């Protein structure tokens, strides 16, 4: 899995590739972290996030939105993301996809970081290509 920060006139975009959907989502979250901070220390407890959604794009939106929320209320910078995404074709309309993810939360007091306001749907791409999974997300700065 890998990610790259991409140029956007006012905001910032993350482009990522991975072998699985879960790894793709985690790579995009790692890009979100890099957009906020170039360096972070080794401390901080891991925490867990679980989201369900009707579609993959919605799941990615909810996951990244939840990460930004947890950042603000836990007062930590989420780093080193891991995620597993599973499909539930038998479930209800709003619960077709689930993500269970973890991140290490570096206390704000121990890091200098910048705000990312929100995840956006603009230009969002989540798709399986010949070489694996591909994702592109624009974040509002």
Partner 1 sequence: MTDTVEYNGITLHKQSEYVWEITQTGEMRSPARVFASEKLLSEIGDDDTLQQLVNATHLPGITKYAICMPDGHQGYGFPVGGVGAMDTTDGCISPGAVGFDINCGVRMMRTNLSYSDVEGREKALVNRLFETIPSGLGGGGVISGDRKTVEAILTDGMKWALANGYATPDDLSHCEDGGWRPDAAPEHVSEKAKNRGEKQIGSLGSGNHFLEVQRVTDIYRDDVAAAFGLQPEQIVVLIHCGSRGLGHQICSDYVRKIEKGHPELLAALPDKELAAAPAGSELATAYYGAMCAAINFAWVNRQVIMHQTRQVFAEIFDQSPQALEMELLYDVAHNIAKKEVHTVNGRDRELYVHRKGATRAFPAGRKEVPEAYRTVGQPIIIPGSMGTGSYILRGGENSLALSFGSTAHGAGRVMSRTQAKKQFWGETVRDELEETQHVYVKAQSGATVAEEAPGVYKDVDEVVRVSDALGIGDTVARTFPVCNIKG
- Among residues 22, 31, 44, 58, which is the contact residue for partner 1, using CB under 8 A? 58
CA–CA separation, 39 and 19 (whole Å): 26
Return all residues near 38 (Cβ < 8 A) that are at least 6 apart.
none
Three-class secondary structure of residue 4 per DSSP:
strand
Pick 13 or 26: Cβ nearer partner 1: 13
CA separation for the pair 48, 46 (Å, rounded): 7
If one asks whether residue 82 binds partner 1 (CB under 8 A), the answer comes out as no
On whether the CB atoms of residues 54 and 12 are closer than 8 A, the answer is: no
- Crossing angle of helices 56-74 and 21-36, in 10° steps, is 40
Check residue 92 for interaction with partner 1 (CB under 8 A).
no
Cβ–Cβ < 8 Å for 21, 138: no
Nearer to partner 1, 51 or 101 (CB): 51
Residue 68 in the binding site for partner 1 (CB under 8 A): yes
Phi, psi of 95 (to 5 degrees): -130, 30
With binding defined as CB under 8 A, does residue 36 bind partner 1?
Answer: yes
Q: Which range touches partner 1 (CB under 8 A), out of 17-25, 53-61, 83-91, 128-136?
A: 53-61
Quick one: which of 113, 132, 134, 136 contacts partner 1 (CB under 8 A)? 113
Q: Which of 94, 95, 127, 128 binds partner 1 (CB under 8 A)?
A: 94
Binding region for partner 1 (CB under 8 A): 5-12, 36, 38, 54, 57-58, 61-62, 65, 68-69, 71-73, 75, 77, 94, 108-109, 111-115, 117-124, 138, 140-141
């Amino acid at each position: 899995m890998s990610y790259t920060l991409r140029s956007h006139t006012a905001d910032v975009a993350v482009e990522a590739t991975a072998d699985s959907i879960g790894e793709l989502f985690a790579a995009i979250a790692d890009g979100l972290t890099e957009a906020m901070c170039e360096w972070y220390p080794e401390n901080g407890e891991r925490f867990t996030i679980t989201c369900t959604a009707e579609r993959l794009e919605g799941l990615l939106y909810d996951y990244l939105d939840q990460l930004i929320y947890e950042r603000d209320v836990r007062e930590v910078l989420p780093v080193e993301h891991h995620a597993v995404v599973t499909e539930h074709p038998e479930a209800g309309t709003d619960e077709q996809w689930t993500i269970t993810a973890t991140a290490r939360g570096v206390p704000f007091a121990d890091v200098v970081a910048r705000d990312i306001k929100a995840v956006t749907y603009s230009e969002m791409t989540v798709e399986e290509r010949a070489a694996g999974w591909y994702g592109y997300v624009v974040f509002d700065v």
